[in-house]
Amino acid sequence: MTPPARRRWVLHVDMDQFIAAVEVLRNPDLVGKQVVVGGRGDPTERGVVSTASYEARAFGVGSGMPLRVAVKKLPDAIFLPVDGEAYTEASNNVMDAVRSLGVVVEVMGWDEAFLGVETDDPVAFATRVHDTVFDATALHCSVGIGDNKLRAKIATDFGKPQGIYMLTSDNWFEVMGDKSTDALWGIGKKTAKKLATLGITTVAELAVTDDEVLAAAFGPKTGPWIGTKGRGVDLSPVSAEPWVARSHSRETTFQHDLDDWTVVTEEVRRLALRVRDDLLAEDRMAIRVTLKVRYVPFETHTTTTPLAGPTFDPHIISDAAAALIDRLDHTRAVRLMGVRLEMTPQNVQTLANNAGDDSGT
């Protein structure tokens, strides 16, 4: 009998309720409890939920929800502060366990990664991934199996929690065809809303839409790219190359609404200098500044501008951030401000070395 042919698969590993699970692992008394992690763990303060246990999610509490809303839904829940160092350590242990399987691992964040796998039995391998991670960390994960990254990523949600699900070209339209377009990885609610104005509401409808129609609505590159999502197409490879941040950001949520724009400007300058310190640590200069504002009650906008040239200069950076405030609506009160700085792709030393190489040719 001819053995099954080995072929390439993409597996998406996603940790189940990762942050909450780490907290439960540290304190077994939390098992089965409604646990909400966010901010400083004080639901009377402004802040948002980073994650919630499945027991809390059953009552509608989820990531991104204001803590004050979460406590109204679950007044008896256990609220805990974010502990980034603990989650980073746990994440490193998870990724080390996955790498021990000898496959290509592309880390996507604290709690997820893509795996490039060659096997004749992807379900058995996915089971092995789950068991390896659990044995090493006592944390559970779900695994999506796909013939590309897009399908593997979407498949994971069908397998949660602690499950395995396969999504390929064979069952793509059977599973996804009738779902709304925002069920696709990379298609947000705003894009889905715009697609709906074109009469495109489902994945199947998006898949058969002409690229010319999408290009007219979204642009010559973005439009056809959106169309590939509907067809489940993704040609991006799984890469073990370390992820390199394109930017750093800082933001602050005010405990009381601010309507004094002098104070807002001072806060923006302070944030800009804090982000500049993050760039200095990487030795990568700022090339663009973006300002984020969240007006009362919860409406968010961003505005951005390029800098004249790559720089570490604190005055140039803070002045550019402060200047963006002129674009905001000063008649409205503010609950959050944030500053993001995009960076040069390479650090200063690498840029200098490349310049030296060029000058010698």
pLDDT tens per residue across span 10-27 = 999 999 999 999 999 999
Q: How confident is the model at residue 247 (pLDDT cuts 50, 70, 90)?
A: very high
96: phi > 0 → left, psi -120 to 50 → alpha, else beta; which? alpha
pLDDT tens per residue across span 196-230 = 999 999 999 999 999 999 999 999 999 999 999 99
pLDDT tens per residue across span 85-134 = 999 999 999 999 999 999 999 999 899 999 999 999 999 999 999 999 99
* Cα distances (angstroms) measured from residue 207 to each of 17, 33, 217: 32, 42, 16
- Catalytic residue from among 23, 55, 106, 112: 112
Amino acid 67 reads L
| CA atoms of 123 and 142, how far apart (whole Å) | 12
Answer yes or no: 112 catalytic. Answer: yes
| CA atoms of 185 and 226, how far apart (whole Å) | 10
| CA atoms of 62 and 68, how far apart (whole Å) | 12
Domains of the chain: 1-168 (3.30.70.270), 172-230 (1.10.150.20), 247-350 (3.30.1490.100)
Label each residue of 295-336 as H, E or C.
ECCCEEEEEEEEEEEEECCHHHHHHHHHHHHHHCCCCCCEEE
Global pTM value:
0.81
Q: Which two structure tokens, joined as six digits, stand for 248?
A: 């750093």
| CA atoms of 52 and 60, how far apart (whole Å) | 10
| pLDDT for res 242 | 81
| CA atoms of 74 and 47, how far apart (whole Å) | 16
Q: What's the length of the chain?
A: 361
| CA atoms of 289 and 305, how far apart (whole Å) | 6
